[in-house]
Amino acid sequence: MSNSHPAFELVTSAEIDSLGVRVEEYRHKVTGAQHLHIAADNRENVFLVALRTVPQDSTGVAHILEHTALCGSEKYPVRDPFFMMIRRSLNTFMNAFTSSDWTAYPFASQNRKDFDNLLDVYLDAVFFAKLDPLDFAQEGHRLEFSEPGNPESELVYKGVVFNEMKGAMSSVSSQLWQALSRYLFPTTTYHWNSGGEPTDIPKLTYEQLQAFYRTHYHPSNATFMTFGDIPAAEHQAAFEEKALHRFEKLDKVIEVGREDRYLAPVSVEEFYPLSDSDDTSGKTHIVLAWLLGDVTDLEEALTAHLLSGVLLDNSASPLMKLLETTELGSSPSPLLGLDDTQREMAFVCGIEGSERDRADELEKQVMDVLRDVAENGVPYEQLAASLHQLELQQREIGGDGFPYGLQLILTALTGATHRGDAIGLLNIDATLEKLRERIKDPRFIADKARELLVENQHRVRVILRPDTELAARREQAEKDRLAELRSTLGDGEKQQIIQTARALQERQEREDDASILPKVGVEDIPAEMPRVEGETVPVGRQKLTRYSAGTNGLVYQQVVCALPDFSEEEKQLLPYYCQVLSEVGLGEKDYLEVQQWQARVCGALHGFTSSRTAIDDLHQLRGHFVLSGKALAANQEPLTELMEATLEQVRFDELPRIRELLQQTLARREQGVVGNGHALAMAAASSGFNRAAYESHATGGLLGLRHLKGLVQGFGQGGLDNLAEKFQAIHRKILSAERQFLLVGEEEKLPDFTRALSTLGNEAVGTSGIIDGPFEPRRVQELWLANSQVNFCSRAYATVPMQHPDAAPLAVLGGFLRNGFLHRTIREQGGAYGGGAGHDSNIGVFRFFSYRDPRMGETLQDFDDSLNWLADGTHQDAQVEEAILGVVGGLDKPGSPAGEAKKAFHSELYGRTHEIREEFRRRVTEVKLEDLQRAAATYLKPELASTAVVTGKHGREAGLALGLAEEKL
């Protein structure tokens, strides 16, 4: 019996016991729009509408349209309804994505009124967008004179997406993927960069944008997806009333065809700009990629996943072992494994840190490994372990990054996009069972390796080499294009450019009537935060805190040790000790045997450290070492044995393995700079205020990256032996530290889980966990040079800890400044992809930041000007309320059941009890405008500011002119 609205018909449905959900697929009778509803007993409801978008060039039309559609609609003709709704909502997630063949608009909320508000705004934005030409100029691209209003000055390109993609394409791995896609997909939409190539974005016209919208943003080309406890029929009533009743069926079918196949492998060579070094040796990437089968064939897709896992799951897997140990490069490529996000799957492997002349040998070695698997297969135990990992991925309830419902929706979206079995992608138990039978045949995976890889001629090899002059040539080419364009402009065209810039500025500075948008208010905030209750029981001499949670048959457990007294050098080495701990041999077993052991037993096992200041004293810093594992409930005892062996039998004598691990870490962190530049700039700017802020910069920040680089370069001359001894010394101290345990699982299994943990006890004496040492406060003024085409700016001020009365106003102040001033000046007018401000009460620092920013000095001035605006301007109480909603939404954002339990435990560990967090939340809801102004005047004084900027070679001169001291990685 269907529960659908009369405008919809039920197509199929399925109960998925392993996920605890029911999935229902519906079709809109008139337009053919698809609705996939995941019914779950979960009050965090999720909505997403996705459109198939298949660009045929690299102008970024789908990406720019995603941005522009959110800039005003028929019912809500304000300039920026998307960002305005972020302020007027208790959402737990709001965003929009452009993928290679779809564009999606998702949000999530735990509040029904808020959900309905957001649904109204999203449906109008997607199906009735205004697409104002000035919004296209702001979000996409436009021409301006470098000196505003002066037609004799140089022309420059501006635009949010233009600058975003300059930043995105600074990433070497992004360039590698685009190069690979150009040749792996010679004829379909994946050949093009859907985000937009900076050289091609200015070619897109406003008329082309409109034409793309008319054909692609139509219900006949749409998939609606929902998750949560709101019934499908209620969603459908809203879809029909607010949008669908106004459309007829579109006679055009938008889809991605199958790719033509090569008859022989292709080899190509391309270049990437390297601007932060003149030394190009050891900086070449070599990757191989194969085009496989259709992603909508569930059995073939899972078989391809299994084959990829068998080859690459861990260091004992044959192909991963080669890529990690080969002398041809420094580490495996960042592009590794199976990509199943497009119509046809691709398998990719390779190395980085190599040289051009090693490509033939690498290809030979890779093919030798694949032929060996095709001829001899792999042991059954290895196949079973890879299937075990697939089951763990299927069973685990995520939700600590994205909302859990959105994770499920995105899993099903690939199938929906290509009109395949979307439900099947969620309900894989039957296919897993079939594969369990298939792998009993020793030829099964061997034959798949031969079919999909060894004999597959649609293979591409890309050599991506560094070029230290390429960035300068590209910059000059852009200047030349603009100079040539300027020379052809008549007086009328020059005046048109000036008028467009003025009109856009007027539009950006115009105060829209926000009251036409729906909202929630402080009165809609729940009075209490959800409480996560655990219980503490003794286990031998130790204490165990255990939580009952719906974990879908998984168990999570941690050994938690108060940090002992470490030297300054040991503190710097601690992150690398943590990384190495679970990746080397144990007792008689070498690291390869241990990797196989881990794959059979658990889904993850890793060490990490955490630290926080006292809630009332920023100079009191405590920390813990944590060994964390997760497994299927049936494997809890083997997981405990593995954790015990990791602590008691770890060996640091496998020196080549330690070298490989740290080289891989260095490569990942270097690549991560341009994707995470704003956070790294904030850590650098904050580092002079106190020990806690410094530790963050010195381990996970740019200072830590510099230290790691020096560590890896010093591996010769006994450096590795020396490092292994230091790891051993750190480990001895960890072993003698006081322990306690955390356990999360389903209630009926907790007693059995608890008994098994008794073997992890020790005879440790008490350790304080206090992180101490000399610290001299200083004002930071730093310019960090990286391989980036854009800037990441930060300015920071010392403030107060969590329990101080001013911590709540400072938390609200970040959103207030972003909403009222920074978003307009930094993003809309300045062209940065993002910018804002926020307070971190753990380190007692208030920080401004910008992300993928074409400007530097002007942005730093905007940070200062925002404080003048706060002090001098006329502000409304509603603006304060909007900022409060943002803070509370962040505090109340739910995680997965296991994630919520872990968060509660670690908060309590550092004195952030439920009562203290709830009291802080209450103080946030009571913040007034005068509190913001007083807090800013007290702490955010210009003479106390610290500044850090991450930039590329292009920004060095500007940074030095601002008085920043150059820092090199």
Per DSSP bridges, beta strands 554-562 and 459-467 are: unpaired
pLDDT at 276: 66
Tokens of 31: 């337009």
CB 750 within 8 A of CB 552: no
Positions in the chain whose pLDDT score sits under 50: 1
Task: Please give the Cα distance from 255 to 627 (Å, whole number).
Answer: 47
Alpha-carbon span 332 to 660, nearest angstrom? 10
Which residues on neighbouring strands pair with residue 325, listed in sequence order?
A: none
The amino acid that residue 200 corresponds to is D
Rounded to whole angstroms, the Cα distance separating 693 from 844 reads 8
> CA-CA distance, 940 to 932, in Å (whole number)?
11
Report the amino acid identity of residue 346: A
Contact 579, 665 (CB under 8 A): yes
DSSP code of residue 92: S
Asked if 392 and 633 count as a contact pair (C-beta separation under 8 A), the reply is no
Helix 702-713 vs helix 655-671: crossing angle, to nearest 10: 140
Give the pLDDT score at 164: 86
**Residue 158 has which token pair?**
């501006």
β-bridge partners, 49: 105, 224
Three-state helix/strand/coil letters over 349-374: EEEEEECHHHHHHHHHHHHHHHHHHH
Structure tokens at 809: 């106003």
Question: What's the token pair of residue 898?
Answer: 């296991």
CATH fold for domain 28-175+186-255+483-516: Cytochrome Bc1 Complex; Chain A, domain 1 (3.30.830)
pLDDT of amino acid 1: 43
What are the structure tokens assigned to 610, written together?
Answer: 């955490």
Distance linking the first and last C-alpha atoms of the chain: 64
Residue 637: CB atoms within 10 A of its CB come to 16
Pairing status of strand 459-467 against strand 266-273: parallel
Name the phi and psi angles at 119, rounded to 5. Answer: -60, -40
DSSP-assigned states of every residue in 148-162: TT-TTSPEEEE-HHH
**Over the Cα atoms of the chain, what is R_g?**
28
Cα–Cα distance for residue pair 272/955, rounded to 1 Å: 19
Question: What's the CATH number for 535-760?
Answer: 3.30.830.10
Q: State the helix-helix crossing angle for 929-939 and 877-892, rounded to 10 degrees.
A: 80
Q: What is the pLDDT of residue 527?
A: 87
CB 561 within 8 A of CB 733: no
Q: How far apart are CA 690 and CA 669, in angstroms?
A: 24
Q: What pLDDT shows up at residue 765? A: 63
Q: CATH: 3.30.830.10, 3.50.50.60, 3.40.50.300, 3.30.70.141. Which one for 781-968?
A: 3.30.830.10
Q: Give the Cα separation of 416 and 33 in Å (integer).
A: 11
* Alpha-carbon torsion, ordered 824, 827, 829, 830, to 10 deg: 130
CA distance 400 to 70: 26
CATH 3.30.830.10: which residues of the chain?
Answer: 28-175+186-255+483-516, 266-467, 535-760, 781-968
Shortest CA distance to 221 belongs to which of 122, 101, 81, 56?
Answer: 101
Q: Read off the amino acid at residue 268.
A: V
The Cα 497–Cα 228 span in angstroms is 49
Domain 266-467 grouped into CATH 3.30.830.10: yes
Q: Where are the beta strands (DSSP E) in 409-470?
A: 459-467
171 alpha-carbon distance from chain centroid: 14
pLDDT for the residue numbered 399: 67
What is the reported pLDDT for 756? 87
- What's the full length of the chain, in residues? 969
pLDDT for the residue 896 = 84
Look at residue 766 in the predicted model and tell me its pLDDT: 65
pLDDT at 510: 87
The answer to whether 457 and 288 have CB atoms below 8 angstroms apart is: no
Sign of CA dihedral 401, 404, 409, 414: positive
